[in-house]
Structures are given as C-alpha cells and as structure tokens.
C-alpha cells in the first residue's frame, strides 16, 4: 500500500513538471513567432563573474498598453549595457509579462531545451517506475543497465551526426569576433554574424594556446561561420572542429566497448555481466566528455542550397537588430 501511495505522489510530481515543461516549450515557441515588439529602457545593470568571465545582467523596463513590465532575463558576457540605454523587447500579446530582450538571440533555442527537459523528465520517471514495479532487483537492474547503455549510445551517435553536419555544412558567411578571452591553456572565442536583419552569435570555440601562433583570434578579426539554413542561430566558427574530433573518438570508444560486451555475452553469463559493467563504465566516462553536450546543443538541419546574406556595414551591438539602412 505504501509503495503505491509513493508511486502516486511521484507520478503527480513528474506529471506537474512535465506539463510545466511542455507549457514553457510552447510559450517560447509562440514568443519566437510573435511580431509584438517595443522599446525598453535599461535601468540597473548587475555584474556577475562566472568561470573567469564577467556577465552583464540589465534590468529592462518596457510599457505595453499603458502597463509597465520588467525583464531581467538578459545576460551577456560579450556586450556591456548602460543605464538609460534603449533596447528592443519582444513579448506575447496575450501575456505581455512574458518577454525577451532581442539583444540575446540565445532565446531561439529555448523550445528545444524545454523539449529535452521534458524527455529527461519522462526518462527519469520510467527509471523510477521500473524500480518500484519490478520486485526482482536483478531483473530491474539489468533493464536499467541496458536502458542506460542504449540511451548513451544513442546520444553519442546523434551528437556525432550533429557535429559532422556542422563541420561539413556548406552554408557559410563572414563573421566578426566579438569575444576573445584567455583561460588556462586555451582561448575562448565567440563571433557574431548577420543574416537578413538579425545579428546572431556562434557557440563558444575553445582554441588551445599552442595553436594561437597561427591565428590569434583577436576581437575584430573576421572569421568564416557555418550555420544551419533552417536554424540560423545554430552555428559554429569554421575552425571549431575539436568537438567533432571528440564526438568521433567517443563514437569509436562506444563501438569498441559494445563489441567487447558482445564477445563477453557469447562466452558466458559471468562475462556478460562483466561486459555490461564495462559498457556502463565507458558510457559514464563519455558523459563527462563532449558527447554528452547533445543536451545543450541543437541539431542542425540537413544541407540545402542557401545564399548567405553579406555582412554589410559595421556591426551594431545595440540594439541587436541589424540596421535597415
């Protein structure tokens, strides 16, 4: 009786978080499509340091139909903000309080992130359900182990395909480095590029210090950017091939561990258990590498012919909509 009561409580909590995640997914999706924009004014600007980088978090005030709203969701380590500065704000017509500062195009990936969050919630719930409903610990343990192995292998394969598509993407344009910061034995680089009338940012590129002699990647330098035509915000600097190499190495290791596990399974039951343990161990190790980054990366769309908009005029940092002139 206590087990079913606990299961009911857990089911209710997971249902609540799942529904909340789905609602946020559609809210962000609607916000991206929304044509309602207004001009906000920056009030206070807070500074926060994380991983050696200074983040700027402005408080933006804007008015819709005579009512004043506040947005504090914008964070940037690339651009600074000044009090009294005007900036574009996008909001939902039915829920004006739900808004985003157009300066930060990172919000374009929010629907995908909440989709991943919903999948993780379902995944964890299935784990708990298996543990609570299957009385045999040995059987439930084997099911969970195989589920973990299958999931990790799936993520590794998807991550490899995503990275392969990006490094081989033929949709390119010119970008300009707007963030370059040296850290331990590496430099972190971010570039901006213009497609249409919108300014986008690439993902962070880590450059080993030993490779900086060929190209220092300083702020203001022009670089080639590869982007997805269907999701222009999904992009990389053309020289950013290290994640692809890591994804390839993870795929090879996963394939090798799977082959080893299959050989163990063919020999004996004891070796089968050892093979599962080895595969789980390798999968957990791969979680700490680049392969597990699929949870925060967007998959690129298949290649399609697309003409790249030229990088016209100087880069405009505020607001984040490119000049129409």
In a domain, 236, yes or no: yes
Burial label, 18 (beta-carbon count in 10 A; 0-12, 13-18, 19+): middle
- Across the range 27-33, mean pLDDT stands at 89
CA 248 to chain centre: 19
Are 189 and 249 found together in one domain? yes
For residue 241, the model assigns a pLDDT of 87
* Cα–Cα distance, 105 to 2 (Å, whole number): 48
The answer to whether residue 211 scores a pLDDT higher than 50 is: yes
Decide: helix, strand or coil at residue 131: helix
In a domain, 156, yes or no: yes
The answer to whether residue 291 scores a pLDDT higher than 90 is: no
- Domains contained in the chain, number: 2
- Across the range 199-223, mean pLDDT stands at 83
The answer to whether residue 277 scores a pLDDT higher than 80 is: no
pLDDT, one tens digit per residue, over 154-167 is: 889 999 998 999 89
In a domain, 8, yes or no: no
**Among 197, 159, 188, 191, which Cα is nearest to 174's?**
191
The answer to whether residue 285 scores a pLDDT higher than 60 is: no
Are 97 and 143 found together in one domain? no
In a domain, 243, yes or no: yes
To the nearest whole percent, how much of the chain has pLDDT over 90? 20
Domain edge (last residue) among 104, 122, 152 = 104
In a domain, 95, yes or no: yes
Q: What is the CATH number of the domain that holds 95?
A: 2.40.50
**Among 229, 201, 32, which Cα is nearest to 113's?**
32
Domain edge (last residue) among 57, 84, 104 = 104
Average pLDDT, the chain: 77
* Cα–Cα distance, 14 to 118 (Å, whole number): 10
For residue 139, the model assigns a pLDDT of 81
Are 164 and 233 found together in one domain? yes
pLDDT, one tens digit per residue, over 127-183 is: 888 888 887 777 877 888 888 888 888 889 999 998 999 898 888 999 999 888 887
According to DSSP H, which parts of the chain are helical?
2-33, 110-133, 137-167, 242-267, 269-287
Decide: helix, strand or coil at residue 279: helix
In a domain, 271, yes or no: yes
Are 41 and 186 found together in one domain? no
In a domain, 212, yes or no: yes
In a domain, 83, yes or no: yes
The answer to whether residue 73 scores a pLDDT higher than 80 is: no
Are 82 and 181 found together in one domain? no
34-48, 206-220, 223-237: range with lowest mean pLDDT: 206-220
The answer to whether residue 62 scores a pLDDT higher than 90 is: yes
* CA distance to 101, 252, 254, per residue, from 259 (Å): 49, 11, 9
What is the 8-class DSSP label of residue 246?
H
Give residue 146's domain range: 134-325
């Amino acid at each position: 009786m206590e087990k079913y009561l606990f299961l009911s409580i857990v089911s209710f909590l997971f249902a609540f978080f799942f529904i909340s995640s789905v609602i946020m997914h559609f809210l962000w999706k609607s916000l991206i499509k929304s044509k309602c924009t207004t001009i906000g004014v920056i009030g206070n600007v807070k500074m926060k340091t994380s991983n050696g980088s200074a983040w700027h978090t402005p408080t933006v005030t804007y008015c819709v139909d005579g009512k004043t709203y506040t947005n504090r969701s914008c964070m940037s380590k690339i651009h600074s903000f000044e009090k009294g500065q005007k900036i574009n704000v996008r909001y939902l017509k039915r829920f004006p309080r739900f808004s985003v500062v157009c300066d930060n195009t990172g919000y374009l990936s929010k629907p995908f992130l909440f989709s991943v969050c919903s999948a993780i919630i379902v995944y964890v719930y299935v784990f708990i359900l298996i543990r609570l409903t299957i009385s045999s610990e040995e059987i439930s343990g084997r099911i969970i182990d195989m589920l973990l192995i299958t999931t990790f292998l799936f993520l590794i394969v998807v991550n490899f395909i995503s990275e392969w598509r990006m490094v081989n993407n033929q949709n390119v344009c010119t970008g300009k480095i707007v963030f370059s910061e040296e850290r331990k034995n590496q430099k972190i680089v971010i570039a901006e590029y213009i497609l249409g009338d919108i300014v986008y940012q690439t993902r962070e590129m880590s450059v080993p210090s030993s490779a900086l002699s060929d190209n220092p990647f300083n702020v203001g330098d022009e670089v080639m950017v590869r982007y997805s035509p269907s999701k222009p915000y999904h992009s990389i600097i053309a020289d950013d091939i290290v994640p692809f190499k890591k994804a390839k190495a993870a795929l090879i290791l996963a394939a090798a561990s799977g082959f080893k596990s299959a050989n163990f399974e063919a020999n004996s039951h004891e070796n089968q258990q050892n093979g599962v343990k080895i595969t789980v161990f390798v999968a957990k190790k791969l979680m700490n590498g680049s392969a597990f980054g699929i949870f925060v990366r967007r998959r690129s769309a298949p290649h399609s012919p697309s003409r790249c908009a030229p990088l016209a005029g100087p880069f405009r940092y505020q607001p984040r909509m490119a000049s129409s002139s």
